[in-house]
Amino acid sequence: MLNRRTLLALTPAFAASSLGAQVPRERVAPLRRTFPDPGSIHWAWTDDTRQRTLPLRLWRPEAAEPVPLVLFSHGLGGSVEAGRLWAQAWAAAGIATLNLQHPGSDTTVAREGGMALRRAANLEQLLARGAGRPR
């Protein structure tokens, strides 16, 4: 564990070691502080087998050529709107993002209360959903 005296003694060494590692300014892309909305499409896909609807949102950059795609999955209790700022930033950087919402572990879990949350977080549910067998 470093104490304050050791940390202060090492500070000049850390500062000196970082001087040679700087990238020339002309090679660094400018940082965008605001992210324009390059465009998003919101729709829902119906899974007839499981009789449920999955909300989707595609954030796309303004590009004519094919671009990489990130699949964004919200955490427990999230929605298709989760990760909006990340999706906008990726789109501004030329990367498309598909945000998907998971019925059963989305915002309905929070509305339904404790039992729904325990059911969604259950190991049996994880294994069943991973094998494609809804319960």
The CATH number of whichever domain residue 92 belongs to comes to 3.40.50.1820
Report how many domains make up the chain: 1
pLDDT score, position 54 = 82
Question: Does the CA dihedral 15-20-21-23 come out positive or negative?
Answer: positive
On whether residue 20 sits in a domain, the answer given is no
pLDDT score, position 63 = 78
Residue 95: give the domain boundaries.
40-130
Q: Could you tell me how many residues make up the chain?
A: 135
On whether residue 13 sits in a domain, the answer given is no
The reported pTM is: 0.50
71, two tokens:
């699949």
On whether residue 22 sits in a domain, the answer given is no
Query: Per-residue confidence of the chain (135 residues) as pLDDT tens digits?
Result: 456 666 566 666 555 555 555 555 555 555 444 444 567 787 887 878 878 788 888 888 887 788 899 988 876 666 777 788 888 888 989 999 888 887 766 666 566 666 656 666 677 766 776 665 555
pLDDT score, position 26 = 57
On whether residue 33 sits in a domain, the answer given is no
The number of beta carbons lying within 10 Å of the beta carbon of residue 104 is: 15
On whether residue 10 sits in a domain, the answer given is no
On whether residue 50 sits in a domain, the answer given is yes
